Amino acid sequence: MKIKKLLAMTLAGVMTLSLAACGNGKTDSGSNTADTNKADTPAASSTTVSDAPADGEISDRDKAVNGESLVIWTLADDLKQFAQRYTDQTGVDIQVEVIAPADYPTKLTSALGAKSKEVDVIVGEPQMLLNFFEAGFFSDLSALDADAKEQIVDYVYEAGKDENGVLRALSYQVTPGAIIYRRDLAKEIFGTDDPDKMSAKFKDFDTILKTAEEVKDAGYRIFSDSGNLRWYANAGSAWVEDGVLQVSDAKLGYMDAAVKLYEDELVAFAPEWSAAWYASMAGELPLNAGWSDLAEVSGEDMTQVFSYSLPSWGALIVRDNAKDNKGKFGICSGPCSYFGGGTFIGVSEYSEHKDTAADFVRFCTLNQDTAQWWLETSNGDVVSNKAVLEANKDFENESFGNQKTYEFYTKEAQNIDYSIVTKYDDTIGQFWGSSIEAIQKGDMTREEAIEDFYMQVEMTFPEITVNR
Amino acid sequence: MKNKKSRGIKNRDNLGWIFIAPFLVVFLTFSIYPVLRTLYLSFTDYTGFNQPTWTGLENYARVFKDKLFWEAFGNTLKIWGVNIVLQLGIAFLLTIVFSDIKYRMCGLSVFRALFYLPNLIAATSVAFLFKTLLDWKFGSVNQLLTGMGVVDAPIDWLGTPALLRTVVGVIGAWMWFGNSFIMLMAGVQGINGDYFEAAAIDGAGRWKIFGSITLPLLRPILLYVAITSLIGGLQIFDIPYLISLGQAKMTRSVNTAVMHLYNMAFKNRQIGYAGSLAFILFFIIAICSVIVYRLMYAKEVD
């Protein structure tokens, strides 16, 4: 009898506990949420912050003198270094939690949707920012506006503003796009490796095709894959203007070029991020490697890739995988200016340390010492601070054949027209890409593929008018 | 005295509520509330970030004009068609073989476990397994086929829309035929053995017995299997999603109704619209279930 009672009690206890657990996990928007969140988070963060430096930071926190502390949720390790430097200089203790980009919007939305006070500094990539601004997660940074306008590259300043023109986020870096080419192959094929002359070889899509043929005739391939040009998919003008879809001649030119690169086999068919793609930076790669392991495709014809079309962070990937080719690369302009990615920092609307958090944002983005330090520490990241870019413009970069890379990227960054960026770009770009693929594979004619593209845009975004 | 009519915990009639309270609270919070909330959101322009504004029936009108949704629904039917024919076909065949009194198959419990095994593997692993097996250049299936000289050139299983849909249907059948088999077998075992014996004595053949005894008496189970696989089939998501992950063109050819819903909600951030898709899908499945139910019971009335 006693055993039965005990069992019943235990079961009831387990049930109640599981209910309580459910109650904790679900954060309602109310005044008591701060407590539940605080109870949750130390455990959560100790599991997510995995690497050793984070632990170091936590022990450093005990040394904090004035008791202020910040929590940062970020996408990449960069901010850990910024935080360490800030702590060293101010004594403010900072805890950095790195969250995978795919999980970031969900995590931020559920935490800040419940008005959690846990996090002070939040970040976003450009394509996430508008949604975050609309949701009211990023606090007003107008206090930094005047300095930002003066010190920061224009497009970054524009990207950090919400629809009403209120500054809410800033980035410490710029990510302008460029063509990264092999100087040695350029000399062999064209007799010159001068960046300006190379830029002329990539000035529009027709010229790129001609260049591609010349490169193929010499036994090489212009790009690793026909998808490499996708950064230029909007061909320098907006996809949507005043609610109307814009398919300009230049965009059609991009489509035709991408199809021709595929049909005439002007590329090596090694997709970005594939093993063959990485291998191509250091030398030869087999044709048509696709996503395969390189060991599996031995015996195919070998070739070399002449150029890569990537944002500024991509140049660092090429450099770091170049091995013996290090120093043999150059950087030139593509058909139009664009930027890709970049981490924007802001202050959480619900933070209890807004002033300190804003000071941290200022420290990361509007401080010339920090910018110069980051440029050196990151070994090549292009910072957003105009004065620092100006100061480094004569720096000759050994990895790129002593080219003045900062001068080049500064010019490219200043050419970026942020007004052509829309919140639809990612999805519409994907639709455009899949239409192009359908033509390449012969599943659709050009007309059918364009019609299919119109249909997809119309169905996905009813608010966009499509004029056929 | 207010004995029996009294309210509160002292009344034994009300004690029952306390016992079901744990379940009720969980059920209301995690089942009923989300459904009602989705219903409300399906009438709004909710994006997950904004304050929802009421838009009336706009989302529902859009569903009927959404060519991508109907394309996805068509894909779902094509996948489900392959799936259901194979799944029930194999399950039936096995049931016939195992229930035949003349064959006296042994090891039923072993086979039952073996057939059910694919269902125990996580969908992610299944998708990855088939993706590897069916790889265009280096997959075992193509190597086997070309090696044996069945085909000259490797078949692009995953890159050809119609083939990919068939593959997804076959995977579904492979995963679920064991489940159907177990249920059909249980149904057959529930039939009184005297019928079979009597029929055998009367000289009825194997097909006669199956058509006149097994099938009619199996109808309730059959109905259950048909409706559950219809509901499951129209909601298919995991395998097509995982097998086409990250490959835009493949995604389109196996884009199922629920994948479309998922993309609308979590990729394009149109949660309100996705809510209305969910409810339309619910009604379609409900109507289909009723039709199946009527069809199968109509026979019994005759």
Sequential DSSP letters for A331-388: EE--SS--B----EEEEBTT-S-HHHHHHHHHHHHS-HHHHHHHHHHTTSPPBSBHHH
Residue B22 lies in a domain: no
* Residues in chain A with pLDDT values less than 70: 1-2, 15-67, 295-299
**Alpha carbon of B15: minimum distance to chain A alpha carbons (Å):** 15
Residue B146 falls inside a structural domain:
yes
Number of structural domains, chain B? 1
Contact residues on chain A for B248, CB-CB shorter than 8 A: 430, 433-434, 437
Interchain CB distance below 8 Å, B50 and A135: yes
- Helices H / strands E in chain A, number of each: 20, 12
Given this structure, which CATH class describes domain A178-339+418-460? Answer: alpha beta
Tokens of B144: 């086997």
In chain A, ranges of CATH 3.40.190.10 domains: 36-174+341-391, 178-339+418-460
Instruction: Name residues whose C-beta falls within 8 Å of residue A154's C-beta, 6 or more positions apart in sequence.
Output: A414, A416, A418
- Provide long-range contacts, Cβ within 8 A and 24+ apart, for A392-399: A398/A327, A399/A319, A399/A322, A399/A326, A399/A327, A399/A329
Q: What pLDDT does residue A458 have?
A: 93
Q: Which residues from A are below 8 Å from B264, CB to CB?
A: 460
- pLDDT in the model for residue A35: 36
Q: Over the stretch A11-51, which tens digit does the pLDDT of each residue have?
A: 777 766 655 554 443 333 333 333 333 333 333 333 333 33
Q: How far is B162 from chain A (nearest CA, A)?
A: 12
Q: Would the CB atoms of A427 and B248 count as touching at under 8 Å?
A: no
Does the beta-carbon distance from B26 to A22 stay under 8 Å? yes
In the stretch 15-54 of chain B, residues with CB closer than 8 A to chain A read 22, 25-26, 29-30, 47-50
Contact present, A221 and A237 (Cβ < 8 Å): no
Task: State whether residue A98 is helix, strand or coil.
Answer: strand
Question: Which chain A residue's Cα is nearest to B69?
Answer: A459
pLDDT digits (tens, 9 = 90+) for A359-368: 999 999 999 9
According to DSSP, the β-strands at A344-347 and A121-124 are antiparallel
B283 vs A: CB within 8 A: no
Q: Tell me which residue in A19, A434, A462 faces B252 most closely, judged by beta carbons.
A: A434
pLDDT in tens, B219-239: 888 888 888 888 999 999 999
Between the alpha carbon of residue A197 and those of residues A181, A191, A308, A323, B206, the distances in Å are 12, 10, 17, 26, 84
Which residues on B lie below 8 Å from A15 (Cβ)? Answer: 22
From the list B25, B69, B138, the residue facing A296 with the nearest CB is: B138
Q: Would you call A19 and B268 a contact, using CB atoms and an 8 Å cutoff?
A: no
B27 in any annotated domain? no
Evaluate the CA torsion angle A217, A220, A224, A229 in order and state its sign.
negative
> Measured between beta carbons, which residues in chain A are less than 8 angstroms from residue B268?
427, 460-461
Domain membership flag for residue B286: yes
Chain B, nearest residue to A442 by Cα: B160
What is the pLDDT at residue B248?
A: 66
pLDDT at A1 (0 to 100): 57
Chain A: give the shortest CA distance to residue B158, in Å: 14
Inter-chain CB proximity A132 and B49 less than 8 Å = yes
Q: What angle do CA A415, A378, A52 make, to 5 degrees?
A: 140
Instruction: For residue B30, list chain A residues with Cβ-Cβ distance below 8 A.
Output: 22
The DSSP H or E segment spanning B112 is helix B108-116
Q: Give A-chain residues touching B269 at CB under 8 angstroms.
A: 131
Q: Do B68 and A296 touch (CB under 8 A)?
A: no
B66 vs A19, A135, A459: nearest CB? A459
Q: In angstroms, what separates the C-alpha of A416 from chain B's closest C-alpha?
A: 26
Question: Cβ(A215)–Cβ(A306) under 8 Å?
Answer: yes
Q: Which residues of A touch B48 (CB under 8 A)?
A: 109, 131, 135
Distance between CA B93 and CA B116 in Å, rounded? 15
Task: Determine, yes or no, domain membership for B165.
Answer: yes
Q: Which of B26, B68, B159 sits opposite A19 (nearest CB)?
A: B26
Q: Which residues of B touch A456 (CB under 8 A)?
A: 68
Q: Could you give the CA distance from residue B200 to residue B194 in angstroms, rounded to a whole number? A: 10
The secondary element (H helix, E strand) that includes residue A434 is helix A425-440
For residue A296, the chain B residues in CB contact (below 8 A) are 137-138
The reply to whether CATH 3.40.50.300 applies to domain A36-174+341-391 is: no
Distance CA B83, CA B78 (A): 9
| Angstroms from B277 CA to nearest CA on chain A | 13
| Whole-complex ipTM | 0.81
B68 contacts on A by Cβ (under 8 Å): 455-456, 459-460
Chain A: nearest CA to B219, how far in angstroms? Answer: 40
CB contact, 8 Å: B57 with chain A?
Answer: no
Can you give the CATH number for the domain in which B243 is found?
1.10.3720.10
In this prediction, the residues of chain B whose per-residue pLDDT falls under 70 are 1-9, 101, 246, 248-249, 298-302
Within a domain: B126? yes
Q: Which residues of A touch B252 (CB under 8 A)?
A: 434
CB contact under 8 A, A292 and B137: yes
Q: Which of B49, B249, B264 has the CB atom closest to A434's CB atom?
A: B249
Contact criterion met (CB < 8 Å) for A459 and B29: no
A356–chain B nearest CA distance, Å = 26
Give residue B125's pLDDT.
93
Residue among B66, B249, B273 with most chain A CBs within 10 A, to mutate: B249
Q: What tokens appear for A75 in the block?
A: 């996408």
**What amino acid is encoded at A250 in this protein?**
A
Cα separations in angstroms, A95 against A63, A71, A326, B302: 13, 5, 37, 74
Residue carrying the six token digits 């076959």: B170
Contact B29 A22 (CB under 8 A): yes
> Which residue intervals of B191-237 are DSSP H helices?
193-201, 206-209, 215-217, 219-234
- B30 inside domain: no
Question: Per the domain annotation, does B21 fall within a domain?
Answer: no
Residue B10, chain A, CB below 8 Å: the answer is no
Q: Residue A109: its pLDDT value, please?
A: 87
Per-residue pLDDT at B5? 54
User: What is the pTM assigned to this prediction?
Assistant: 0.80
Q: Which chain A residue has its CA at the smallest distance from B70's CA?
A: A459
Q: What is the nearest CA distance from A328 to chain B, expressed in angstroms?
A: 33
Which residues in chain B have their CB less than 8 angstroms from residue A110's CB?
none
The verdict on a CB contact (< 8 Å) between A460 and B26 is: no
Res A65: pLDDT: 40
Which of A28, A134, A230 to substitute to test the interface with B, most B CBs within 10 Å? A134
Instruction: List, for residues A311-330, the tens digit of each pLDDT value.
Output: 999 998 999 998 888 889 99
Range of the domain at B163: 60-301
